[in-house]
Homo-oligomer: A and B are copies of this chain.
Amino acid sequence: MNRRSLIKGGGIFGLLAAGVAPAIHAQAAIRWRLASSFPKSLDTVFGTSELFAKKVGEMTGGKFQISVHAGGELMPAFSVVDGVQTGSVQMAHSAGYYFYGKDPAFCLGSSVPFGMNARQINAWMYEGNGLKLMREFYARYNIYNLPGGNTGAQMGGWFRKEIKSVADLKGLKFRTNPFAGKVLEPFGLIPQSLPAADLYPALEKGTIDALEWVGPYDDQKLGFNKIAPFYYYPGWWEGGPHVDFYINTKAWDDLSAEYKAVVEAAASHAHVSMLAKYDARNPTALKQLVGSGTKLRPFTHDVMSAAFKSAQQLYADLNNSNPEWKKIYTDYSKFLADQNVWFRFAEGTFDRFMQQQQL
């Protein structure tokens, strides 16, 4: 073999250009970093970004590798929007409602009180205007997004005392997300913000009176049942919280068409798997919690209705003060109203009948 003549003559390059080069180009090695907002202990949610990265690797024969980093590892858990915006990481895995403080419109991409359930937000994202509108909004932050999971309707949380009426909310120090806090503040409740690691000791010491985390599977691992007897439902502020993959727009634009399609499909696969994981694991955890003495309680209709009215007032205020919110919420709320008309017939009636049976 005469290597020099091969190069000099342009032989291999000529051949590659003729037929093979695009294949090699398409399979260029890529390494990305993903910053998650979630701790490793949430194997449900954190596991979703690991599954996503694994699938991208498998589809590309290991040529597109994404390293997944838990919340706090590369940056604070709730700084991942900044990380993606500046390009210090190529992507993140997070939930829009963590960024209520930046702009409440972020929440419409994950969950707002009395919003869509998991199936409804899927429909809005994939087949309504959801992805389109959220992408327009996220573009200001250099973000391109893809669906990245859902928990299903969350629980209302752990309370040391019963909540029998709106009056019982007065003075209650309740750890919850900021949007739920805004809705509950008019009733004299004092919203608290605490990271996962501080929840148990704060509830145990009485620094807070109540908290909500996720649902039976995740909550059981943190042991809240040992220090609070009442477990409320539903978590009306998170009826179907949608989790997102945020991708830096330049990193996204630099991908080949093939790799874009790979990332999109891997995200969808991880997206459907996360909700399935919650639904598969929550029943066992709930049974164990009840078996160990946890008292399940629904929020009363009065509490729910008062919170619903408070939420509608907040949305009216946001429509007046925030044009980005208004643009997205106008579409979101119309879609939600239509969904609830439809879901009360075949879907709702089937579910209610089945839930009444002894199986």
Q: Which residues of A contact B (CB under 8 A)?
A: 1-3, 5-6, 9-12, 14-15, 20, 22-24, 26-27, 55, 58-61, 63, 114, 117-120, 122-128, 147, 152-156, 215-216, 233-236, 239, 256-258, 260-262, 264-266, 268-269, 271-273, 275-284, 286-287, 296, 298, 301, 304, 308, 333, 335-355, 357, 359
Contacts and interface: CB of A to CB of B under 8 A. Distances in A.
Given A23-B23, A265-B269, A283-B341, 13 more contacts: A1-B10, A22-B61, A23-B61, A114-B354, A122-B272, A123-B276, A127-B273, A127-B281, A234-B350, A284-B338, A304-B353, A343-B355, A348-B351
A51 to B, nearest CB: 10
A179 to B, nearest CB: 16
Contact of A262 (B123, B262, B268): B262
B283 A339 contact: yes
A51 B336 CA distance: 26
A272 B234 CA distance: 25
A359 B346 contact: no
A20 B120 CA distance: 46
Contact of A114 (B269, B337, B357): B357
Grouping DSSP codes into helix (H, G, I), strand (E, B) and loop, the A interface class, with mixed when no group exceeds half, is helix
A119 B354 CA distance: 14
A131 to B, nearest CB: 10
Closest 6 pairs (CB-CB, A-B) = A123-B279, A127-B280, A58-B261, A126-B276, A283-B338, A265-B265
Contacts of A286: 341-342, 345
